[in-house]
Amino acid sequence: MVETAQRRETGGLGILVALLGAVAVVGVTVAIAATREEEPAPLPEPQAEPVIDASLRKAYVWWAALTLWAEVYTSYLNTWPADTDLTFTFRIRNTGDVGAYFQVYMFDPGDWLYLGPGEDLDVEESFHSPVIPLTPGYQYYRINILARKVDGERIGAVWSSDIQVTYV
């Protein structure tokens, strides 16, 4: 009976030593795993935002006394006749990398017109110049190009420029 009790104590001690050894191995494995540097996750590929942009290539004005179209300058003096029907042609280009709808005008907003990337378009607008200028000296007008995405979302002005006009 004494022998059986000793075996139980020795057997119990062996199991205890085995359990402590297993816990130590697991602890060392967890500690090694925790101290090992993990490789960082790869960075996501940058997504290019579509660019919707336009530029005014040329603007021309014509009235009955002209034999050829006269260029409209955006930073120089423009001389137009008073009390006359004027016709403008605005040549615009989509300088972005996606197609979009554009609207170009100086006096009254016109139709929205589709331009693919790199495409040019001529837009006409008519205007009757004032009989007497509103103020003496120069008048200022603004050529505007507005844009909206194909889905209809409005982008706003992508190009605008003030022009100076004197009526003769």
Q: What is the DSSP string of the chain?
A: -HHHHHHHHHHHHHHHHHHHHHHHHHHHHHHHHHHSPPPPPPPPPPPPPPP--EEEEEEEEE-TT-SSPEEPPSSSEEEE-SS-EEEEEEEEEE-SSS-EEEEEESSS----EEE-TT-EEEEEEEEEPPSS-SSSS-EEEEEEEEEE-TTS-EEEEEEEEEEEEEE-
Task: Give the pLDDT band (50/70/90) at residue 36.
Answer: low
**Residues of the chain above pLDDT 90, percent:** 57
Task: Give the pLDDT band (50/70/90) at residue 9.
Answer: low
**pLDDT tens figures, 104-144:** 999 999 999 999 999 999 999 999 998 876 666 788 899 99
Domain range summary for the chain, segments of one domain joined by +: 54-167
**Top-level CATH class of 54-167?**
mainly beta
**pLDDT tens figures, 63-75:** 999 999 999 998 7
